[in-house]
A and B are shown apart, each in its own frame.
Chain A
Amino acid sequence: MSRDALQESLSAVMDNEADELELRRVLNAFDDAETRDTWSRYQVARAVMHKDLLIPRLDIAAAVSAALADEAVPAKAARGPWRSLGRLAVAASVTVAVLAGVRLYNQDEIAGNELAQQTQQPVMAGPQVKGPAVLAGYKESSDTTGPMANGVLQGQSGWQDQRLPGYLRQHAQESASKGTESALPYARAASQENR
């Protein structure tokens, strides 16, 4: 099983687009810590896109598993009312785990953003948490420094510094030459030169 295929399946599961096979593939691989990390990273990325930020590290699946593991398996002999009571107890503790998780997950937006900023997720740059799309508070172009000063960049390194502006430029200019929507792609291309 290649890593790529697995990641793709994960992505598909997240988009609700996975077929049976992909779902099974993901479930099988879910014991693997790395896979779970990837999953939670995708969740964060998705949450940022949907603007409902949550505690990224919170792992409901793990909490549920733990709750199940802690629960003593009801003795086989115990027939009668006690047995169903035991089952109820398991169900209840799982419910509590899930509910606690859900409550934490669905913090309102502001609290969520604060949390994310406090936890300093290595994957996500702070500004992106606020939403990648904000026009308010733009700066005059002459104020900006560096090739990507306005963008939200993560995992920055020399290579990206060198290549990304070129890629962005090529994309914008090629779009402009293929553009159907009038001057818009030109304006986009031009705006990338304004640094």
Chain B
Amino acid sequence: MRAIPLLTLWLSSWFALSAHADEAQDWLTRLGRAEQQQSFEGTFVYERNGSFSTHDIWHRVQDGHVRERLLQLDGAAQEALRVDGRTQCVSSVLVAGLASSSDTPSRALDPQKLTQFYELAVIGKSRVAGRNAVIVSISPRDQYRFGFELHLDRETALPLKSLLLNDQGQLLERFQYTRLDTRAVPSDQDLQPGRECSPVAVASSKVSSTPVTQVWHLDWLPPGFQQISAVTRKDTQTKATVDSLMYDDGLARFSVFLESAKGADVNETRAQLGPTVAVSRRLNTVEGEMMVTVVGEIPIGTAERIALSVRSGKAAAKP
């Protein structure tokens, strides 16, 4: 008889838990839709180790098209204009290497897929930029990725604050609105980029004879990561050809860069810039020594292991 209250207790706690997870999923689904449906303007700050910057954003949804302009408020007036997820122009400093990849549309957030590799939960409420918010935690189920803490606007589900945390719970970066107005619809003038914003041109050197994916493959990938792009480009400054592959798990992303070392005196490197790590190492191939560099918002151990698993050749990549 004693089992019955225990069972009810267990069942109710189980339902409560799954309800929490479902609630978190709903919030993320709303977040994914919010930017396609909601016009707004505001100001946000971005902070990581060694850097703090403030930006204005204008975001307009009209006739099914999303126009967004971003302008950095301190230091150089960096600017970007994006229409339906495609970058139209960026201020001169931002150009380089972006061009060839900008023609692929951005991917939508898929909470269902995320639950395979992250635990989603609503963990509380907060107040950001004078607005009420719910806190959704996205914590990794393994040690190969970082966790997020999102503070979503209760009214619109827009992300008011986003924190990136490592496995120790240390803060790696902070993105946070200080002002958000969801009632105002930005005018044409607000969305007009300045003269510094130069149009993104399609790179002429992007065509390569062999698809990059056939030349390189990874023996090991953190679970859930998929390749989302493969590009060969010529660096304008160094004149070197660089192959790059990009992978994501629906949230985190990393890139693998491959470039001939050409006998240069190169050291293997490990670097960390706020949330972004870079690990490079030498790789001997039939065509000579190459440098493999893994860059991404992933733990350094993951990057290290990816860098070790890069192989040349046409063998099929394991999922």
Contacts and interface: CB of A to CB of B under 8 A. Distances in A.
A80 interface: no
Contact of B70 (A131, A163, A186): A186
Q: Give the 3 A-B residue pairs with the shortest CB-CB distance, closest first.
A: A150-B50, A155-B267, A187-B46
B140 interface: no
Interface stretch (A57-65, A86-94, A112-120, A132-140): A132-140
Contacts of A4: 283, 308
12 contacts: A8-B219, A11-B301, A131-B170, A132-B277, A144-B50, A149-B50, A152-B271, A178-B107, A178-B246, A178-B248, A188-B274, A193-B94
Contacts of B48: 135, 138, 188, 191
Contact of A50 (B80, B167, B280, B283): B167
Interface residues of B, number: 97
A186 B304 CA distance: 25
A85 interface: no
A142 interface: yes
Contacts of A179: 106
Contacts of B172: 133, 135
B136 interface: no
Given A50-B167, A173-B98, A163 B162 contact: no
B174 interface: yes
B293 A183 contact: no
B265 A140 contact: no
Interface stretch (A27-35, A70-78, A97-105, A164-172): A164-172
Contacts of B268: 155
Contacts of A50: 167-168
Interface stretch (B15-23, B51-59, B120-128): B51-59
Contacts of A168: 273, 276, 278, 295
A187 B277 CA distance: 16
B308 A160 contact: no
Interface in A8-49: 8, 11-12, 15, 42, 45-46, 49
B299 A160 contact: no
Nearest to A155: B267
Interface string B244-281: 10101011011101010100111111111111111010
A180 B166 CA distance: 20
B300 A171 contact: no
Contacts of A189: 94
Given A142-B75, A180-B32, A169 B97 contact: yes
A151 B273 CA distance: 4
A163 B98 contact: no
Contact of B270 (A155, A182, A187): A155
Interface residues of A, number: 68
B44 interface: yes
> Which residue, A171, A172, A178, A194, has most C-beta atoms of chain B within 10 A?
A171
A166 B269 contact: no
A119 B78 CA distance: 43
B255 A178 contact: no
Nearest to B309: A8
A172 to B, nearest CB: 7
A141 interface: yes
B27 interface: no
B166 to A, nearest CB: 5
B96 A140 contact: no
B173 interface: yes
Nearest to B51: A191
Contact of B106 (A46, A178, A184): A178
Contacts of B166: 49, 132-133
Nearest to B168: A51
Interface string B67-100: 0101010111010100001110010011011100
A138 B255 contact: no
B185 to A, nearest CB: 18
B29 interface: no
Contacts of A155: 267-270
B44 A177 contact: no
A140 to B, nearest CB: 7
A168 to B, nearest CB: 6
A117 to B, nearest CB: 18
A60 B50 CA distance: 38
A162 B262 CA distance: 14
Given A151-B50, A183-B57, A184-B175, A166 B235 contact: yes
Given A8-B309, A174-B97, 12 more contacts: A15-B301, A45-B300, A135-B174, A148-B271, A160-B271, A167-B255, A168-B278, A174-B255, A183-B44, A187-B53, A187-B175, A191-B51
A193 B259 CA distance: 23
Nearest to B90: A173
